[in-house]
Amino acid sequence: MHELHLITGVEDESELSWQERSLCAQTDPEAFFPEKGGSTREAKKVCVGCEVRQQCLEYALAHDERFGIWGGLSERERRKLKKRAV
Ligand code: SF4
């Protein structure tokens, strides 16, 4: 998982156990937190092959994660998804 996943301050381990299987743990974490306007393509490519993509996305939505790529979606894409869900 990328570094910021580790410091979100969540105590409940079961909620985070999926992160042990995250594919981005084996890749460049910086790709998941691109500079403003930077490319998200590399990160999204990794997410496509990640077996915990669904859990990751749900986690990010539930915790209102603002930065980075989670579950293959950028911050903006997650916001859109949320709006549709409400
Ligand atoms: S879906 Fe993407 S961001 Fe989430 S754990 Fe998998 S590789 Fe990482």
Q: Measured from the CA of 60, which atom of ligand 1 is nearest?
A: 4
Q: Work out how many domains the chain is built from and give that number.
A: 1
Across the chain, mean pLDDT equals: 87
Any ligand 1 atom below 6 A from CB of 73: no
Q: Which domain holds residue 10?
A: 2-85
Q: Which residue among 69, 77, 78 has the greatest number of ligand 1 atoms within 8 angstroms of its CB, and so is best to mutate?
A: 69
The pLDDT value recorded for residue 37 is 82
pTM for the model: 0.80
Identify the band that residue 32 occupies on the pLDDT scale cut at 50, 70 and 90.
Answer: very high
Ligand 1 atom 2: residue of nearest CA: 47
Asked if the model's pLDDT at residue 7 lies above 60, the reply is no
With b for 16 or more beta-carbon neighbours within 10 A and e for fewer, the 9-48 pattern comes to eeeeeeebebbeebbbeebebebbebeeeeebebbbebbe
